[in-house]
Chain A
């Protein structure tokens, strides 16, 4: 995690579910990797006035 926190992924959480880190507020999507383990991918927010 960017904030250094350890995010608990509940055992019954499902693929595609979104969980938020309470510390930094970033949101993560639960994904399965090739070996069927749960992985977290940061949910990238975007807006009209983003970027350079």
Chain B
């Protein structure tokens, strides 16, 4: 396993490896020097030479947290002849939202209608000075998506950062003025139709073992709330276990396969949204009430998460967080909201929109305990599949 910083996910992978009887070693990918020339590789920190360990390593679980750094990691280890989960192809396909959406749509998978404008909002002109392209870009976007409600997002962003809902032509102009090239949005502007997902989206995990077909888990993580249009959990949204109708699982497998290309093995966490028609949005008042009532059972989860030293006392933390989520999931408001998620999902099984792939998902708490999917098991199973062959 390779990482630049370890969190509960990485400790969880270790714990799962112990339970599965898999031998797991650790490589740092931060303050090390990767040396190479035509004679081969060296891999050294200031105090230790990892080069020999590297030669005995068959599969690398790449848990490097920085996206750009993770790409370097996949590059380096594949060049050294190791199998990497996920392979470089998958990392590349997941890194850019535009690339991901192109891969999906070219395979006939439903995606939110997306517009990419290559121009930057502000551009330097020869001879000095800057040109403001916001008006042109705004018209280019509205020409295709209208201007009533448009989502603008950084191409390679994470955690919903910079994902903005623009309403009306003036709103779009305002949002565009804040878009500039950065590490998470190298060039141009990405805009998308707003998918009416009512109050939730889905995190769906698909794995491919070598020699087998892609497999989508039966359950997924639904994330939702009425606070705003983004459903990221760090914004205070709540999580639920969703049961995936069979057609949604097939679409998820096709979507993940579109990102997996010809690679033997991978584990991808997809983000998807149901398009929910007005006629299905019933009882919103009581739903909002249930979200309010859910704050109380959820406060225990928040309390346990703040536990200092959770890495040092990982087994204890793990017991506590498992208990806290179990109590939260046994509460009445949870059951109410989960019921609505599963009912609407069943009815919208043929209008689920896929929009993103995550190559290194966080999973230990929410996806595993609430979503019912331990991604560590997927990773280790896929790694064993590569070693056995």
**Which residues of A approach B to under 8 Å, CB–CB?**
2-5, 20-26, 41-42, 44-45, 47-52
Contacts and interface: CB of A to CB of B under 8 A. Distances in A.
Contact of A45 (B30, B161, B182, B360): B30
A26 B360 contact: no
Interface in B251-310: 269, 309
B182 A48 contact: yes
Interface of B: 4-7, 26, 28, 30-32, 45-48, 65-68, 156, 158-159, 161, 182-184, 269, 309, 311, 358, 360-362
B45 A25 contact: yes
A30 B115 CA distance: 49
A49 B95 CA distance: 10
A23 B45 contact: yes
Contacts of B45: 22-25
Nearest to A21: B47
A25 to B, nearest CB: 3
A25 B46 contact: yes
A33 to B, nearest CB: 9
Given A25-B31, A25-B32, A42-B311, A51 B6 contact: no
A48 B184 contact: yes
Contacts of B6: 2, 26, 42
A23 B65 contact: no
23 contacts: A3-B28, A5-B48, A20-B31, A23-B47, A23-B48, A24-B28, A25-B31, A25-B45, A25-B46, A26-B28, A41-B309, A45-B4, A45-B30, A47-B66, A48-B161, A48-B184, A49-B67, A49-B68, A49-B156, A51-B158, A51-B362, A52-B159, A52-B361
Given A23-B45, A51-B158, A52-B159, A45 B5 contact: yes
Given A49-B66, A52-B159, 14 more contacts: A4-B26, A22-B46, A23-B48, A25-B28, A26-B28, A42-B5, A42-B6, A44-B5, A45-B5, A45-B30, A47-B65, A48-B183, A49-B184, A52-B362
Contacts of A44: 5, 7
Contacts of A49: 66-68, 156, 158, 183-184
Given A50-B65, A51-B65, A26 B183 contact: no
The binding surface of chain B is classed by DSSP as loop
B154 to A, nearest CB: 10
Contacts of B362: 51-52
A20 B30 CA distance: 12
Contacts of A50: 65-67, 158
Contacts of A47: 65-66
A19 B27 CA distance: 19
Nearest to B94: A52
Contacts of B183: 48-49
A31 B26 CA distance: 25
Contacts of A45: 4-5, 30
A45 B28 CA distance: 13
Nearest to A43: B5
Contacts of A23: 28, 45, 47-48
Query: Max chain B CB contacts within 10 Å: which of A2, A48, A52?
Result: A52
Contact of A52 (B5, B47, B358): B358
